[in-house]
Every structure is written in C-alpha cells, then in structure tokens.
Structure 1
Amino acid sequence: MKYKLGDFVRFVDEKLEGFITRIIDEQMIGVTVEDDFEIPVPAAKVTLVHGYKAPGTEIINPGDKSPILAAEFKTKGVYLGVVPDAKANSVVHFHLINDTSFQLLATLATEKQGFKGEYAGIIGPNSSAKVYSAQLADLQIWPKVVINILYYTGQNVEAPAPLTFTEKFKAKDFSGSKKNLPIINQQGWQLRLDEPELVIDAEKLKESFFQSAEEKITLTKPAREIDLHVEKLRDDHQLFNSTEILKIQLAHFNKSLDAAIVHQLPDVIFIHGAGNGTLRHELQKILSKHPKVQTFMDAQKEKFGYGATRVVLK
C-alpha cells in the first residue's frame, strides 16, 4: 500500500478529491471528500495530489550536530504526541518527539495477531518524526503499539538505558485536554515516555476521602444557565460512545446542581437539548427525588423549546 492516512488524493475517473481517512485493506481505501462523506474506493482509482504535504511528514529541526556544553546537555524529554490531522480530523498522527540532546534510534511496531513494523529511523536532538497514523473511529480496535528507543551521542555523556513503551490505547487516554506539544508546536495529546509511571499510594488515596471541611475544595458559583451538550463539556467528545457521554453529562449536572445549592441560588436552568429525551429523563428522575429541589419545569419554551429544564431550589 503506497498510500497513508492523511494523504490528499484525486479520483482518476471522477472530478473528486479528498483525504484518505481509512485503509480498508491492500486494495481498498476510504477517502473523505469535501462534504465530509467517506467514499470507499480502490487504491488504483486515485492518485496523489502533488504539492500537498500531509502534516507531520516533514522533518522538523533535524538537530544541530555541533558539540553541546555538558551543562546544557538535555538528558530528559522523550514524548509521544498524538495530533489530529489538520484537514481530516477523523485521522490522528503519532509523533515521536525528541526534546533531548541525544540522537534516538527508534522503532515502532503494532501487535494484532502478529507484529508489524511501522517505523524505524534516527530522530535527531530537538526534533520529531511522524511514526504512525490511525483512524479515531476505530479506536476500540487499534492494535497494541510497541516503541523501542536507543539513546546515542558522540559526546562524553552517559546514555540512559534503552526505553521500551507498550500501550493498548483506550478512549480514556485521550480524555484530557489537548496541549501545545514541544518541538512540533501543534495541539495534541502528550505522553511522556522517559518518566516512570505514577504509582498511586493507596493510603494517601484513602486519606483524601476523609479530608476536613476546611481542606476540601470549594464549589465555584455556577452560571444561571448550564449547557450540558457534550461538545461544550469536552474537546474530545468524539472519542466516547453514547453511554460514556451520558455519564459525563450527568456528572457535570450533579456537580453544578450541588454548586447551585451551596451558593443558595433560587433557581438554575439546565440546557440538555431535545434529542431522544434520554438525558432529560435522567435529569428529571434525579430532580424528583432530590431533597433540595422544590420543583422543576420546562424552561422558556420560546427560547429553548423542550431542550431545557428550570430547577427551583428550596
């Protein structure tokens, strides 16, 4: 397969062009055209559009080979960055980011009913390389990723032990907010590869459940209108299924309701949308049993239709 996810292609027999957003098999690919509709097409029926370079395929800061003073030699800073494609948001690109003064001899393989080599190369100091691409919609069936890294320098600095990173990614790995990634200067999710995993101290975790009232974080006063649409709550909402989205919305609802009660608001409006009515039903089930709720009703139908509920507090 000569094509990669994110490549910009033109149809041979039709006046269409778009981005490759799925590799179906060795002969078939999925191309998302201008109206965001993905079309299955034989790979032989498209051709690359010259002049377009997929984000991440360029070499960034190949690294200065001049000697570095010992005091300035950076020994830490190896990251895996996951960045949405600038043109095809359903595709993400994996970048190995070397923010150290070492050269990295790196390989990436995927494991799913056997191993498949995806990348091998040298990543210079203060540089990065795109090592893998994947379709976000297929997150649940992504293969396990195995990265091996050797450190090298010609300078009088001891290299760290070889690094191995193995991960079967899940939706929760992309649940945090995106941040600006070092070297590549793009927004994405970041994993630090050269730091040990955080080990949770069970005793300290237990103590956190028994904090005194003074130690607990105070609830911020909420707005009078609270939007529960998941796209307002999470940047990564496309990674979750309907059950997970409902949990996120209910958690925000409960937290906001508690805050409204603590701050003694007379009422508060929750915007849940009309949809299939599932979220509205769940909210009303909670409100009907809540001891601090006086009553609830549809809020300003002329403004929200049946998409919001006004809650009057005691």
Structure 2
Amino acid sequence: MKYKLGDFVRFVDEKMEGFVTRIIDDQMIGVTGEDEFEIPVLASKVTSVHGYEPAGAKKAAVDNEAPVLAGEFEKKGIYLGVVADTKANSVVHFHLVNTTSFTLLAALTTEKQQVFKGEFAEAVSPGSVVKIYSAQLADLQLWPTFIFNVVYSTKQNIEPPAPLVVREKFKAKDFSTSKKQIPLLKDTGWLIRLDEPEVVIDAQKLKESFFKSPEEKVVLDKPSNEIDLHIEKLRDDYQFLQNSEMLNIQLAHFHKTLDAAIVHQLPDMVFIHGAGNGVLRNELHKALGKHPKVQTFMDARKEKFGYGATKVIFK
C-alpha cells in the first residue's frame, strides 16, 4: 500500500479526484472528493497527484545546532500537535513539536492487539516540528496505542535528561478541549504535552489546605432563565461521544444549573432538551418530580419550543 491518509489522488478510469481519508485494507482505500462523500476504491485504480502537502507536512528544521547560553537552554517543551487536514477534515495529522534546545532522537511505535509497528524514527532538531502519523478522527475508538521513545542529545556541555517513554491510548476526552495555536506550526489544533513538568509541592499551601475554614463555600454563578441542554452547546467533540456519555454530560449540566437557580432564588427556569427520543426529557422529569425545591414543572411554551423544553417553577 503506497498511499497514506491525506494523500491527494486521481481516479485512473474516471474524471474524479480527492483525498485519501481511509485505509480499508492492503488493497482498498477510501477517497473523499469535493462532495464530501467517501468512495471505496482499489488502490490500483488511483494515482498520486503531486504538489499538495497537508499542513505541517514539512518540518521547520534547524540544520545546525547554534550555541545557546546556559541560562537560555530550554530543557522542557515536547508536545504532540494534532491538526485536521486543510482539505480532508476527517483526517488528522500528528506532529511532534520540539521547543527544547535538545536534538531529539524520536521514535513512534503503534501497538494494537499485541501487533507492533514502527511508524516514525528520526532526529528532530531544536525548535522544529515534524509530522509523524495520520489517522481518521471518526475512528478514534479504533486507534492503536501510541508508544513514544525520545532520547535527548546536544553538543553543548549540558547533561541530558533520562530518555522519555510515553505510552498513550487516546480517548474522546483528549480532544474535548478547545483548539490552540500549535507552537512552531502556523495552525491550530489539539496540543498534548509529552514531557509533563515535574510537580513541585508547596509545603505551606499543602498545610493551609488542611485548615480551610468551614465557611468556605463553592460559588455558583447566577444562571440564565433558559438553559439549552443540546449536546452541541455543551461540548465541541460531541460527534465522537457515545449516547451514554452525551446523556451523562447533559444531566450533569442540568443538575449544576438547577442547583444554581435554587441558590440564587430564581422563580422559574426553562430547560431546552429537544424532542428527540425523549430519554433526556424523561430523566429530567424524573429528577424534578423528586426534588424538594420544585413546586411543579410543565411543557414550556409550545409556540416557541414545541415539545422540546420543560419549564420549572420553584417553591
């Protein structure tokens, strides 16, 4: 198989072209065109179109290791930047980002069901970024375990840290945070630190934590009178969550805002849950029916919400 995710290809027998968005097996690939439909096709029926490279495909390398003053030598700062392909959004590219002053002898191995595969091995210069892997974001649950091995090297009179070994099995929650600017890469994406800084324990703060005043309470902000519980309003990564995970997130937000409304003595509140299959609505009504601070609840204004919202009146 000579093609990789994100490669731009053209069909041999048809006037079609697109990006490789799935590796089905050794013979078949999935190609997505401008209509955003993925078409399974034999790898032998397409040909590469040169000239397109996904974001970050070229590393911003430093050819020579310039001398760095001891006080300016950066010993920490190794990241994994995950960026969506600019042309095929369903594909993400993994970049190793080296903001340290060391040259990194880096290797990536994947493991799935006790089958290991070397994916990348290269020297990564100080202050550079290099693409090391690509995958289908929608197949996150099927991704292999990632094993990163990094050895630090420098020509300067500085003792390198112990080799870094990171074993990571990514989950949807790893991509639930908002996107950030990736260092050294002119693009935004998810940023994951591989060399976590050492945790420094402040003895005084630790001591103070044991003697917190019982009067200290959690401050709940005053909520609005209408709370939208649609999952897309609560999480950016909702399309990668299972139904049970979505329901738990929605119920947690419901209980949090319900408590806040009671604390701030709101007279009433509307929860927008949508019609859907009625599971979320039923869970809300079950909780409201048992709540000691709820006087009654009912369908909210149908002309505005249809049957997709519940109005709660507090005691």
Same fold (TM over 0.5): yes
Structure 1 residues 307 and 27, CA gap change in structure 2 (3 angstroms): same
Report how far residue 62 of structure 1 moved: 3.4
1:306 aligns with 2:307: yes
Residue identity in the other structure for 1:54: P
1:246 is aligned with what amino acid? L
Aligned positions of 1:134-149 closer than 5 A: 134-149=135-150
2:292 is matched by which residue type in structure 1?
P
Q: Tell me how far 1:197 sits from its aligned partner.
A: 7.7
Match of 2:121 in 1: 120
Q: How much is the aligned-residue C-alpha RMSD, in angstroms?
A: 2.6
Aligned-partner Cα distance in 1 for 2:299–2:231: 20
Aligned to 1:95: 95
CA contact under 8 A between 2:55 and 2:187: conserved in structure 1? no
- Deviation of 1:10 after TM superposition, in Å, equals 2.5
The separation in 1 between residues aligned to 2:198 and 2:71, in whole angstroms, is: 27
Secondary structure at the residue paired with 1:288?
Answer: helix
The equivalent residue for 2:51 is 51
Q: What SS does the aligned partner of 2:290 have?
A: coil
Count of matched residue pairs: 310
Partners of 2:67 and 2:282 in 1: CA distance: 66
Q: The residue matched to 1:89 in structure 2 has which SS?
A: coil
- Residue 42 of structure 2: aligned partner: 42
Q: Partners of 1:32 and 1:85 in 2: how far apart?
A: 12
Confirm or deny: 8 A CA contact 1:63 1:125 kept in the other structure. Answer: no
Give secondary structure in 2 for the equivalent of 1:107: strand
Amino acid at match of 2:224: A
In 2, Cα distance between the equivalents of 1:164 and 1:298? 55
- CA distance in 2 between counterparts of 1:135 and 1:82 reads 12
Instruction: Provide Cα deviations, 1:276-299, integer angstroms capped at 9, x if missing partner.
Output: 221111111111111111222222
User: In 2, are the aligned partners of 1:8 and 1:54 still within 8 Å (CA)?
Assistant: no
Amino acid at match of 2:245: E
Tell me, in whole angstroms, the C-alpha distance in 2 between the residues paired with 1:10 and 1:147.
Answer: 34
Secondary structure of the corresponding residue to residue 194 of structure 1: coil
Q: Report deviation, 1:263.
A: 0.9
Structure 1 position 195, deviation (Å): 2.4
- Is the 8 Å Cα contact of residues 11 and 47 (structure 2) preserved in structure 1? yes
Q: Which amino acid aligns with 1:165?
A: V
Query: How high is the sequence identity, in percent, across the aligned residues?
Result: 69
Most deviating of 102-111 and 289-298: 289-298
| Alignment partner, residue 85 of structure 2 | 85
1:313 alignment partner AA:
F
| More displaced 10-residue stretch of structure 1: 188-197 or 112-121 | 188-197
Of stretches 258-267 and 11-20 in structure 1, the one that deviates more from structure 2 is 11-20
Structure 2: stretches of 5+ with no match in the other structure: none
Instruction: Give the structure 2 partner of residue 70 of structure 1.
Output: 70
Structure 1 residues 87 and 272, CA, compared in 2 at 3 Å: closer, same or farther?
Answer: farther
- Residue 221 of structure 1 deviates from its aligned partner by 0.8
Q: How far apart, CA to CA, are the structure 2 residues paired with 1:18 and 1:256?
A: 46
Partner amino acid, structure 1, of 2:143: W
Look up the SS of the partner of 1:148 in the other structure: strand
More off after superposition, 13-22 vs 105-114: 13-22
Q: How far is 1:241 from its partner?
A: 0.7
Q: Secondary structure at the match of 1:31?
A: strand
Q: Is the 8 A contact 1:63 1:127 kept in 2?
A: no
Distance verdict in 2 for CA 1:213–1:42, change over 3 Å: farther
Residue aligned with 2:100, SS:
coil
Alignment CA distance shift 1:211-1:22 (3 Å): farther
Equivalent-residue separation in structure 2 for 1:138 and 1:217 (angstroms): 39
- Counterpart CA distance in 2 for 1:199 and 1:175 is 27
Greater shift, 51-60 or 187-196, is seen at 187-196
The 8 Å contact of residues 63 and 126 in structure 1, kept in 2 or not, is answered as no
Maintained 8 Å contact 2:152/2:160: yes
Q: Distance in 2 between matches of 1:21 and 1:267?
A: 49
| Gap change, CA 1:216 and 1:133, over 3 Å in 2 | farther
